[in-house]
Structure 1
């Protein structure tokens, strides 16, 4: 069973303080930053991430989908809200997979629960993301320390020979 995390894109951006601040200046940059954060999140958790952005007020918009750093990004078509897209996605994905939706929209949270998925608030998502970033930081610093310890255990003569061999 695969796990999916679906984000109501603009809802998440507007509730995530650093992304909101960025969006006030550069909305495209905030969308890209959200995708980058979710790519990192996905690589650690193994979850499939779908970010849905409203484009329902854009005249003649046929909608679009793209994959950016392993994250599926959806822009809804004209007259289709992110909520309605997410509802349809839940109905098809949740039949055979675990689906979690990140949003602060109360009405959408009720729809999510009724559709067989679970929900997390944006605050919960931020906390989970920060915890994962800390785990990655600890893991990488531990790996670096282990490498440093290994180099102190090897005979200096052998270490120079290995270094010479590596460089040739």
Structure 2
């Protein structure tokens, strides 16, 4: 099994698209990161856990699942780095490979010492852009392969059928 641990605010601060969103609304940047991680999970099959620091959103620790991505908000006075280090130790096993996405060099060294593989935010952004391109190509290919209709219809007849389907006269 492969697991990706993502330092949420570190990635938001590093990726161009997310950094722009963060300037106007942090919540939008977090939501977009989670959407992107759902795409990543669907494409790679890896288990994805995104960790957000509590110091930017004070409150009690919480865990939730959104789009099949696990999201952890650390408890107050606990950093995402600390939680990622704990998760790396807890989840490590003979059949488990952990990857950690962060540009925090200290964090990279610590998790690497625990046996995890590290991805800088830049490397991860390049990988995500490549995956997005691959997804777009696959969708386009599927759409081109699928026949539009079993019976060829003139445009006029197709328009009439479409109006009927929508309940219009």
TM interval, short-chain normalised: 0.7 to 0.9
For 1:79, the equivalent position in structure 2 comes to 77
* Aligned partners of 1:57 and 1:79 also within 8 Å: no
For 2:36, the equivalent position in structure 1 comes to 37
Residues 69/57 of structure 1: CA separation in 2 closer, same or farther (3 Å cut): closer
Aligned pairs for 1:95-106 (under 5 A) are 95=93, 96-106=95-105
Q: Number of aligned pairs?
A: 154
**TM-score, normalization by structure 2:** 0.83
Q: CA deviation at 1:144?
A: 1.6
**Could you give the per-residue CA deviations for residues 105-141 of structure 1, whole angstroms, max 9, x where no partner exists?**
0000000101110000111111111111111111111
RMSD over equivalenced CA pairs, Å: 2.2
Higher helix share: 1
Counterpart pick for 2:61 among 57, 60, 63: 63
Q: CA deviation at 1:33?
A: 0.5
Which ranges of structure 2 fall in alignment gaps of 5 or more residues?
A: 154-160
Q: CA deviation at 1:74?
A: 0.6
Q: How far apart, in 1, do the equivalents of 2:57 and 2:69 lie?
A: 23
For 1:137, the equivalent position in structure 2 comes to 136
**Could you give the per-residue CA deviations for residues 13-34 of structure 1, whole angstroms, max 9, x where no partner exists?**
0000110110011001100110
Q: How far apart, in 1, do the equivalents of 2:13 and 2:56 lie?
A: 18
**2:146 alignment partner, SS class:** helix
Q: How far apart, in 2, do the equivalents of 1:8 and 1:79 lie?
A: 16
Q: How far apart, in 2, do the equivalents of 1:55 and 1:129 lie?
A: 26
Q: How far apart, in 2, do the equivalents of 1:135 and 1:58 lie?
A: 34
